[in-house]
Amino acid sequence: MTAPAYKRIMLKLSGEALMGDDSYGINRATIERIVAEVAEVVRMGVQVGVVIGGGNIFRGVAPGAVGMDRATADYMGMLATVMNALALQDAMRCIGLQSRVQTALAIEAVAEPYIRGKAIRYLEEGKVVIFGAGTGNPFFTTDTAAALRGMEVGAEIVLKATKVDGVYTDDPKTNPDAMRYQQLSFDEAIMRNLKVMDATALALCRDQKMPLAVFSIFKAGALKRVVMGEDEGTKVYC
């Protein structure tokens, strides 16, 4: 069997990815399929960290957040990511995939606090480490958390799993002629204001020379193909 291109990855999952076709919450069939894709690359010997978003849970609260203090709203969003992390861990437990949840906010009754050394040790042991609560700070997105945690634990690449199979010249849903970038530089993504990640995360990856791949988690086998270094999604490089 061909060796994977990457030994240690940081997977960024949006909360919306767990919704499937539902309007909010967690679609069990969808989360089970995502976990099966993660388990496949873990069996190949790839060490996997996961940063999870909270949009699927926080979505229903967002309209009510108008006029709310931004820091308060962001902390609420962080708690939503912890809920998603626990759901993801439970789905992994059901198929016998070992995982640990670490959170940037101290919620020791349900998860470990984030400790870099322990996270690295878990990865080396073959456990999936799920990082909840973003960076633990308001005003920073889970995109930035994925870039930060990826660098801290020595990941070789950040993989952003979305509903779209890469970065396009335009919205492929409204423009059938939109072309998918096979690869592009961070500077191009920032200058063209392409919807890859938020600007802070892009700048962090660029400055630390951390490559990024954007792909669809809804395409069967896409995660494995990205890990194997095949032409899947869009690669963003320094």
Which residue ranges make up the annotated binding site for UMP?
54, 74, 135-142
The H helix count followed by the E strand count for the chain is: 8, 9
Q: Which pair of structure tokens corresponds to residue 39? A: 């388990």
Instruction: Let me know if 112 is exposed, middle or buried by CB neighbors in 10 A (0-12, 13-18, 19+).
Output: middle
With left for phi above 0 and alpha for psi between -120 and 50, is residue 109 left, alpha or beta?
alpha
Residue type, 109: A
* Alpha helices, H only, the chain: 28-43, 55-58, 70-94, 116-124, 142-152, 186-191, 199-207, 222-227
Q: Which residues are annotated as a binding site for ATP?
A: 12-15, 55, 59, 162, 168, 171
Quick one: which H or E segment has residue 91? helix 70-94
Angle at 155 between CA 3 and CA 234, to 5 degrees: 75
Q: Which residues are annotated as a binding site?
A: 12-15, 54-55, 59, 74, 135-142, 162, 168, 171
Give the SS3 label for residue 1. coil
